[in-house]
């Protein structure tokens, strides 16, 4: 006899981003496509606080069931996405109270992108690690200092609460949930159907290092970003970077960490890893050449940095992401 299906509840609000719930929903739908009639592993319901039509950020409307009409005793996984309307939703006392009172009884609580703000408003992320869209990590941390906000991961799981990064990271999250429920083989099958990686290799990074610095309002750091990229082969100790930024080393290190959340040394290594990634993707250069161009002392230092930052070896990264129009040396690796 087939086990009872796991019941999923997607919660929408006006101004939600459609892909935040459609992406994960598609993962679970495909997990049901090979099931015998009446034996689907998942059932789902699309709900909102008041029910009826919900207008998404794109203008498309989705019919929903009122949360009060949902059978909460049967809910296994609760998922809320983000979008332009999320801060209004996080300020809606009725929605926040519903999450505060009902979510703790659910086995898995999940947010996609900025949906984390609703969970935070309901106190569900208190004392936990969490992630949201990279552009909102600072705001989440500022509003809720009791949350250990991570800036890099695609998704974070902490004591039954799953939070994920921006938009398409909801698919990564759903595949992880699927693997947790039905095993690696089924999650891999669905990932192939979606033409995505089951676990995004090197995918812990949400955004590029240059983008993270260029998004700062401080023009000095934006200029420094470009300078570092042009001088990766140089000695990039704090003293050198501080001189380039026109600050004392001590002041530079303090201000840099305050604005970026990372030490100068960590950021330099991330720049070098990113440069090496581009070399592996776009050229057929040897590992030794790529390591030198990116400013690493040698191949071994590059390997260690890849393991630290991306949890993947350079040769494995190249195997998965290398463009086919550049020849790769037979002895690469």
Q: Region 29-47: what's the mean pLDDT?
A: 94
Average pLDDT of the residues of the chain: 88
2 has pLDDT over 80: no
Crossing angle of the two packed helices 238-245 and 249-260, in degrees rounded to 10: 90
Task: Assign 331 a pLDDT band (cuts: 50, 70, 90).
Answer: very low
Share of the chain above pLDDT 90, in %: 66
**pLDDT score recorded for residue 93:** 98
**pLDDT score recorded for residue 261:** 74
Higher-pLDDT residue of 119 and 277 is 119
Which residues touch 43 (CB under 8 Å, ≥6 apart)? 5, 6, 7, 8
CATH numbers and ranges of domains, the chain: 6-194 (3.40.50.880), 209-321 (1.10.10.60)
If you search the block for the tokens 């409307």, which residue do you land on? Answer: 61
Q: Of 152, 163, 96, which Cα lies nearest the Cα of 128?
A: 163
Where is average pLDDT lowest: 86-100, 122-136, 193-207, 235-249? 193-207
SS (H, E, C) the chain: CCCCCEEEEEECCCCCCHHHHHHHHHHHHHHCCCCCCCCCCEEEEEEECCCEEEECCCCCEEEEEEHHHCCHHHEEEEEECCCCCHHHHHCCHHHHHHHHHHHHHCCEEEECHHHHHHHHHCCCCCCCEECCCHHHHHHHHHHCCCCEECCCCCEEEECCEEEECCCCHHHHHHHHHHHHHHCHHHHHHHHHHHCCCCCCCCCCCCCCHHHHHHCCCCHHHHHHHHHHHHCCCCCCCHHHHHHHHCCCHHHHHHHHHHHHCCCHHHHHHHHHHHHHHHHHHHCCCCHHHHHHHCCCCCHHHHHHHHHHHHCCCHHHHHHHHCCCCCCCCCCCC
134 has pLDDT over 90: no
Task: Assign 332 a pLDDT band (cuts: 50, 70, 90).
Answer: very low
201 has pLDDT over 60: no
Distance CA 189, CA 292 (A): 39
**pLDDT score recorded for residue 327:** 56
219 has pLDDT over 50: yes
217 has pLDDT over 90: no
203 has pLDDT over 50: no
Higher-pLDDT residue of 36 and 259 is 36
Q: Region 207-221: what's the mean pLDDT?
A: 55
68 has pLDDT over 90: yes
Q: Region 93-102: what's the mean pLDDT?
A: 98
Task: Assign 74 a pLDDT band (cuts: 50, 70, 90).
Answer: confident
pLDDT in tens, 137-153: 999 999 999 999 987 78
218 has pLDDT over 60: no
Higher-pLDDT residue of 120 and 191 is 120
**pLDDT score recorded for residue 166:** 84
Pairing status of strand 161-164 against strand 155-158: antiparallel
Pairing status of strand 61-66 against strand 148-149: unpaired
Exposure b/e, 117-126, CB count within 10 A at least 16 = b: bbbbbbebbe
Burial class (CB in 10 A: 0-12, 13-18, 19+), 60: exposed
Distance CA 20, CA 1 (A): 34
**pLDDT score recorded for residue 191:** 85
Q: Region 197-214: what's the mean pLDDT?
A: 52
Residue 131 and residue 155 in contact, taking contact as beta carbons nearer than 8 Å: yes
pLDDT in tens, 269-325: 989 998 998 899 889 999 999 999 999 999 999 999 998 887 788 998 888 777 655
Task: Assign 216 a pLDDT band (cuts: 50, 70, 90).
Answer: very low
Higher-pLDDT residue of 35 and 218 is 35
5 has pLDDT over 50: yes
Pairing status of strand 61-66 against strand 52-55: antiparallel
Q: Of 300, 287, 289, which Cα lies nearest the Cα of 331?
A: 287
Task: Assign 73 a pLDDT band (cuts: 50, 70, 90).
Answer: confident
**pLDDT score recorded for residue 204:** 45
């Amino acid at each position: 006899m087939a086990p009872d299906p796991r019941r999923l509840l997607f919660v929408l609000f006006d101004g939600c981003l459609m892909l935040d719930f459609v992406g994960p929903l598609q993962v679970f739908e495909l997990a049901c496509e090979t099931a015998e009639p009446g034996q689907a592993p998942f059932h789902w319901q699309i709900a909102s606080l008041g029910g009826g039509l919900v207008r998404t950020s794109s203008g498309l409307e989705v019919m929903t069931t009122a949360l009060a009409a949902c059978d909460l005793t049967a809910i296994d996984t609760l998922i809320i996405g983000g979008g332009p309307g999320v801060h209004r939703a996080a300020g809606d006392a009725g929605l926040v109270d519903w999450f505060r009172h009902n979510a703790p009884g659910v086995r898995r609580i999940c947010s996609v992108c900025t949906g984390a703000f609703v969970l935070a408003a309901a106190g569900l992320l208190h004392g936990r690690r969490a992630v949201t869209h990279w552009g909102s990590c600072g705001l989440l941390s500022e509003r809720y200092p009791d949350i250990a906000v991570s800036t890099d991961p695609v998704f974070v799981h902490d004591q039954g609460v799953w939070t994920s990064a921006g938009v398409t990271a909801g698919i990564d999250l759903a595949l992880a949930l699927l693997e947790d429920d039905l095993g690696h083989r089924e999650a891999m099958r669905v990932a192939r159907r979606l033409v995505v990686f089951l676990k995004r290799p090197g995918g812990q990074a949400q955004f590029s290092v240059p983008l993270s610095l260029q998004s700062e309002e401080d023009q000095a750091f934006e200029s420094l970003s470009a300078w570092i990229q042009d001088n990766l082969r140089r000695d990039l100790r704090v003293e050198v970077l501080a001189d380039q930024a026109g600050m004392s080393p001590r002041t530079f290190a303090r201000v840099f960490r305050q604005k970026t959340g990372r030490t100068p040394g960590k950021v330099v290594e991330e720049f070098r890893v990113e440069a090496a990634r581009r070399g592996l993707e776009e050229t057929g250069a040897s590992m030794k050449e790529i390591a030198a161009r990116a400013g690493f002392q040698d191949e071994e230092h590059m390997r260690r940095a890849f393991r630290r930052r991306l949890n993947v070896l350079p040769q494995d990264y190249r195997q998965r992401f290398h463009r086919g129009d550049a020849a790769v040396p037979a002895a690469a690796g």
